[in-house]
With several copies, the nearest count.
Chain A
């Protein structure tokens, strides 16, 4: 490509360099956590962790295409650690919007994977309406005092920092009074309580924040510009995370081929014409979604914009709910049970409940349809009653 020509490294010289370095350093596998830590430190030090980043911050200023070359070479030998300029949500957000002091302090540890992180976005009163958050951060000298409650936080118990949005100005419209912080989690003012989900699992936490201290240098972006920083962070998140949807949980394999066909065969109902129609519908939806995703990726490569990406989450939500329904239909009375002795029932029931993780979490299906209607199809927005008034005056639950 034209812009690559201006770069000091050619694709081929780069490829040789990575190969040589890997040949010299990659042990073939990592046996322990200590091994892993040592390896990550080495990758960061050799500037392979974020090759597309500026040299100032442990990068090599490579083009995106050259970054892929590095990734391919690492992947070829099975070595982890590179490509974090694409995949490391925390480090990318910090690089883009953090203070110099915070970058100095955290970028290298984040790239080495030494810092536990979590997201402090949603609140009980602010789910779909994330800009309606009421957690507050009040400036006191060289730090902020934070008070409020966050929810749906994964890994909060082990996190060193949380990426936090909090309100710092209550007299401007909702989107304009929000700021974005790296909040230190290991302090008395931060209490983490596991949140038991509908499925009985506890992957998430509630985080109660009471007079917690956040140094001013941990502010990302300007004061009151947190909504913009959040959009940056969410964009990174979306570009990295796949569907994230979990299927059956039992882990007990269902035999060869298409799982629903195998399940129906095992249950002795594969010849039931009704069941066959339902299987076709669900497997069809799954394949259509895969085809849509493939087409979206092809479109992206060709540079044409694609409506398909935004449809994936909505499609997946429907697929999961439908698959749960059909699994139930296949099992009949068998779906009354649960637990490890009844893996098929466990799968159907888990899926029935966990499908809401996709249809509610990360923006409900209803919000997704708004987004598709407005951003993809260009349909006009609804009147927004709280957009332009001071947040103090906004109606809340």
Chain B
């Protein structure tokens, strides 16, 4: 993947920020999150127009040809505004998986439509238990002449109910492979799952002899690579969300008066805010560092990603959770945005692995790094 200059990146991030400030304001989020599709088609088109949807797609396939650095930067804005969209599913996970698999025919056919937003794709990765290791895959692929048949169940499929293309990870006779499936085809049954985070869409998908088309060569490595890209993106979202929540919480603490003083003048609130600043800044550092290392193909990129995955997840949840407490009663109402962020933070903390999973793998990286 290519990388923009620092200046281009800032300009691009700025254009995304302005678009989202304008069209992913709290009222927009509340409206969109209650729709069945969970995204606003016009905003999605606008995001595609400025290049955010095809951000990491190669220019030859109609994308911006950017990399983890740009992706992380954009996702900070996404997290800050709680954007409701299939960007992570289609623009990151599916696009990342296709590019890593490097199947020229499939890429030429699929990536341009993903990049321009006309095709929403997603990846079906895990089974009913929800885990992101090879052993958690619960779909089996069997050869049917030159074609493939898929059986089993994928769950927690992000935006599965609105996808026009499924990239299904399945256990085949030659190991883990990725299969292109038309969600409208026979033997595919999609059930939307009700989510605690209303800005997210998840689905359970059952396959009963569904037709699949093999993409690229078998192996878990491309799946892991796509997941790692998605984790960096998610880390950016978490860092951006945490910063925004802290920002409006500190703002409230400056203006809310109790006992004749702004509540932010009390140490109880002030010290929580100071601790949250450390959380939020650390999350930002972790997300950006992971992006830098992944972009550079650094040997410790994996450790940096695992660190960002648990640090940003924990930070976003903690900032949101404490922010509600710091607001007091007002944030106990549905109309206050704090709980929307907490719901998103809790979702983000589970997607593609919970913090304890990433901590375990971080230590494995530490072990591997030095005999």
Q: Touching in the complex, A and B, CB below 8 A?
A: yes
Which A positions have Cβ atoms within 8 angstroms of B? 122, 124-129, 132, 151-152, 195-198, 200, 256-258, 261-262, 268, 270, 273-274, 276-277, 279-281, 283-284, 287-289, 291-292, 294-295, 307-308, 311, 314-315, 321, 328-329, 332-339, 341-342, 345, 349, 352-353, 356-357, 359-361, 364-366, 368-370, 372-374, 376-386, 394-397
Q: Report the Cα distance A61→B259, complex, angstroms.
A: 42
Tell me if B188 counts as interface (CB < 8 A to partner A): no
Interface pair B260/A360, CB less than 8 Å apart: no
Interface pair A382/B267, CB less than 8 Å apart: yes
Known: A197-B334, A308-B281. A280 touches B371 (CB 8 A): no
Q: Point out the residues of chain A lying under 8 angstroms from B244, CB to CB.
A: none
Picked from A270, A291, A337, the residue with its CB within 8 Å of the CB of B282 is A291
How many B residues touch A, CB cutoff 8 Å? Answer: 76
Interface pair A257/B270, CB less than 8 Å apart: no
Interface pair B369/A258, CB less than 8 Å apart: yes
Known: A197-B334, A257-B370. A336 touches B268 (CB 8 A): no
Main secondary structure of the interface of B (DSSP, over half): helix
Tell me if B184 counts as interface (CB < 8 A to partner A): no
B368, chain A: closest CB distance, angstroms: 9
Interface pair A386/B260, CB less than 8 Å apart: yes
Interface pair A384/B366, CB less than 8 Å apart: no
Picked from B196, B270, B334, B356, the residue with its CB within 8 Å of the CB of A373 is B270
Q: Point out the residues of chain A lying under 8 angstroms from B362, CB to CB.
A: 280, 283-284
Q: Report the Cα distance A195→B268, complex, angstroms.
A: 28
Q: Report the Cα distance A386→B367, complex, angstroms.
A: 55
Q: Which of B341-370 contact A (CB under 8 A)?
A: 342, 346-347, 350-351, 354, 356, 359-360, 362-363, 366-367, 369-370
Please list 19 pairs of residues, one from A and one from B, whose beta carbons are closer than 8 Å in the complex, sorted by A's number. A129-B259, A132-B257, A197-B333, A257-B367, A277-B359, A280-B360, A280-B363, A314-B274, A315-B282, A333-B131, A335-B346, A336-B351, A356-B331, A373-B270, A373-B273, A377-B274, A378-B250, A380-B264, A396-B257
Picked from A268, A337, A357, A369, the residue with its CB within 8 Å of the CB of B268 is A369
Q: Report the Cα distance A274→B360, complex, angstroms.
A: 9
Q: Point out the residues of chain A lying under 8 angstroms from B284, CB to CB.
A: 295
Q: Which of B244-289 contact A (CB under 8 A)?
A: 250, 253-271, 273-275, 277-278, 281-282, 284-286, 288-289
Tally of A-B residue pairs with Cβ under 8 A? 248
Tell me if B126 counts as interface (CB < 8 A to partner A): yes
Q: Report the Cα distance A361→B196, complex, angstroms.
A: 23
4 additional contacts (CB under 8 A) given A126-B258, A365-B325, A377-B273? A152-B329, A270-B367, A338-B194, A380-B264
Picked from B202, B261, B321, the residue with its CB within 8 Å of the CB of A385 is B261
A247, chain B: closest CB distance, angstroms: 17
Q: Point out the residues of chain B lying under 8 angstroms from A307, CB to CB.
A: 277, 281
Q: Report the Cα distance A197→B253, complex, angstroms.
A: 21
Q: Report the Cα distance A369→B325, complex, angstroms.
A: 14
Q: Report the Cα distance A125→B197, complex, angstroms.
A: 30
Interface pair B289/A291, CB less than 8 Å apart: yes
Could you say which of B253, B257, B331, B347 has the most chain A C-beta atoms within 10 Å of its C-beta? B257
Q: Report the Cα distance A84→B43, complex, angstroms.
A: 58
Picked from A196, A352, A378, the residue with its CB within 8 Å of the CB of B335 is A196
Interface pair A276/B363, CB less than 8 Å apart: yes
Q: Report the Cα distance A357→B215, complex, angstroms.
A: 51
Q: Which of B269-321 contact A (CB under 8 A)?
A: 269-271, 273-275, 277-278, 281-282, 284-286, 288-289, 307, 310-311, 321
Picked from A261, A328, A368, A396, the residue with its CB within 8 Å of the CB of B363 is A261
B229, chain A: closest CB distance, angstroms: 19
A175, chain B: closest CB distance, angstroms: 11
Q: Point out the residues of chain A lying under 8 angstroms from B324, CB to CB.
A: 198, 356, 360
Q: Point out the residues of chain A lying under 8 angstroms from B282, CB to CB.
A: 288-289, 291-292, 315
Interface pair A397/B281, CB less than 8 Å apart: no
The 10 closest A-B CB pairs, nearest first, are: A257-B370, A333-B130, A386-B260, A280-B359, A373-B270, A196-B334, A379-B264, A291-B285, A129-B258, A372-B274
